[in-house]
């Protein structure tokens, strides 16, 4: 079994200490921090999702797997982000929308944006439209990045955009959306400026949105 396959299995099995050990070992072996996401963390969580959908896993197993994935991301985060002074690409208000508690993908996107030179204002999960508006005003953000993992909460992206428009901020910020159920069509239909399929795409998109 390769290092990444071992790590995927440890995440699926919810073995946080093993994930921590494997991450540290792989880093010592010269694996680049960004490689862990496409090769271990994302495929492992996709398998967890499949098992949840097929009723092989229930919430406790999923939570334990998410905690194990976090054992890796906690180590990788400081290695991915640059120092404050080098963050000049723009300020991004980042969140998972109201009613939605999924934050693994959002955290990966935030980490990748941070490592690409963006300053991140992370509102966490369950972020209301009002909280988004307040953060954009307070931090003079030029980008809003909203994530949703539930089909039932996608509509709260639309509410976030409407709240920004009501507050007179729509022309001052670019808005990008993403998350497993989100599509390019959905993004267009709610008036977002762009859709990111995964974290690397989100970084490219953020760069192009702030450049235009
Ligand atoms: Co939930 N859950 N969950 N869950 N969960 C899903 C989303 C689900 C698809 C599982 C399934 O049925 N197969 C399903 C949704 C079905 C639907 O809406 N149609 C579901 C459900 C039903 C639920 C509950 C309702 C279950 C219940 O209580 N009965 C409940 C809802 C709670 C709530 O939010 N209010 C619930 C709870 C949970 C846990 C708390 C147990 C846990 C979350 C822990 C946490 O996040 N801290 C959890 C998990 C872990 C999942 C799955 C298994 C994995 C999600 C994940 O972390 N994926 C998920 C199944 C799945 O998606 N395959 C599932 C890995 C992550 C790296 O991918 O988040 O897609 P993702 O992010 C990607 C891209 O989408 C993109 O980049 C990331 C990196 O590549 N991306 C962006 C994400 N945001 C972006 C933003 C961007 C750009 C790109 O720009 C702004």
How far away, in angstroms, is 138 Cα from ligand 1 center?
29
The pLDDT confidence band at residue 14, using thresholds 50, 70 and 90, is very high
Ligand 1 proximity of 114 Cβ (cutoff 6 Å): no
Q: Which atom of ligand 1 is nearest to the CA of 151?
A: 18
Task: Name the least confident of 91-95, 111-115, 188-192.
Answer: 111-115
Q: Which atom of ligand 1 is nearest to the CA of 103?
A: 46
Ligand 1 proximity of 148 Cβ (cutoff 6 Å): no
The answer to whether the CB of 109 falls within 8 A of the CB of 199 is yes
Kindly report, residue by residue over 52-81, the tens digit of the pLDDT: 889 999 989 988 998 999 899 899 988 887
Residue 80: its pLDDT value, please?
82
On the question of pLDDT at 26 being above 90, the answer is: yes
Report d(CA 89, CA 118) in Å as an integer.
5
Task: Name the least confident of 4-13, 55-64, 124-133.
Answer: 55-64
Q: Which atom of ligand 1 is nearest to the CA of 200?
A: 80
Residue 20: its pLDDT value, please?
97
**Segment of 4-8, 40-44, 71-75 carrying the highest mean pLDDT:** 4-8
Residue 52: its pLDDT value, please?
86
Residue 117: its pLDDT value, please?
82
Residue 82: its pLDDT value, please?
64
Ligand 1 proximity of 150 Cβ (cutoff 6 Å): yes
Residue 34: its pLDDT value, please?
87
All domains in the chain, ordered by first residue: 3-84 (1.10.1240.10), 88-211 (3.40.50.280)
Mean pLDDT estimate for the chain: 93
Report d(CA 132, CA 180) in Å as an integer.
21
Residue nearest (by alpha carbon) to ligand 1 atom 76: 198
Residue nearest (by alpha carbon) to ligand 1 atom 57: 104
Residue 88: its pLDDT value, please?
74
Report d(CA 151, CA 148) in Å as an integer.
8
Report d(CA 102, CA 165) in Å as an integer.
26
Q: Is the dihedral of CA 134, 153, 62, 199 positive or negative?
A: negative
- Percent of the chain past pLDDT 90, that is, above it, reads 73
The answer to whether the CB of 109 falls within 8 A of the CB of 146 is no
Neighbour tally for 70: CB within 10 Å:
19
The pLDDT confidence band at residue 83, using thresholds 50, 70 and 90, is low
On the question of pLDDT at 85 being above 90, the answer is: no
Report d(CA 3, CA 8) in Å as an integer.
9
Residue 86: its pLDDT value, please?
59
Ligand 1 proximity of 54 Cβ (cutoff 6 Å): no
Residue 108: its pLDDT value, please?
86
- Half-sphere exposure (CA, 13 Å, Cβ side) for 33? 15
Residue nearest (by alpha carbon) to ligand 1 atom 83: 179
The answer to whether the CB of 43 falls within 8 A of the CB of 65 is no
The pLDDT confidence band at residue 11, using thresholds 50, 70 and 90, is very high
On the question of pLDDT at 115 being above 80, the answer is: no
DSSP 127: B
């Amino acid at each position: 079994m390769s290092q990444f396959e071992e790590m995927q299995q440890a995440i699926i099995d919810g073995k946080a200490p093993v994930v921590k050990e494997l991450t540290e070992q792989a880093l010592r072996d010269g694996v680049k921090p960004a490689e862990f996401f496409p090769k271990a963390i994302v495929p492992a969580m996709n398998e967890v999702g499949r098992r949840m959908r097929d009723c092989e896993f229930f919430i406790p197993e999923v939570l334990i797997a998410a905690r194990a994935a976090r054992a890796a991301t906690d180590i990788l985060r400081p290695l991915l982000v640059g120092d404050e002074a080098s963050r000049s690409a723009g300020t991004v208000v980042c969140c998972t929308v109201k009613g939605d508690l999924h934050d693994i993908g959002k955290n990966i996107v935030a980490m990748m944006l941070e490592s690409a030179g963006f300053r991140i204002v992370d509102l966490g999960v369950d972020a209301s439209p009002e909280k988004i508006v307040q953060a954009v005003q307070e931090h003079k953000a030029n980008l809003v990045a909203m994530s949703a993992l539930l089909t039932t909460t996608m509509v709260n992206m639309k509410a976030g955009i409407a709240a920004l428009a009501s507050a007179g901020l729509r022309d001052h910020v670019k808005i990008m959306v993403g998350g497993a159920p989100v599509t390019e069509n959905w993004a267009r239909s709610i008036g977002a400026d762009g859709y990111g399929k995964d974290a690397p795409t989100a970084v490219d998109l953020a760069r192009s949105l702030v450049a235009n």
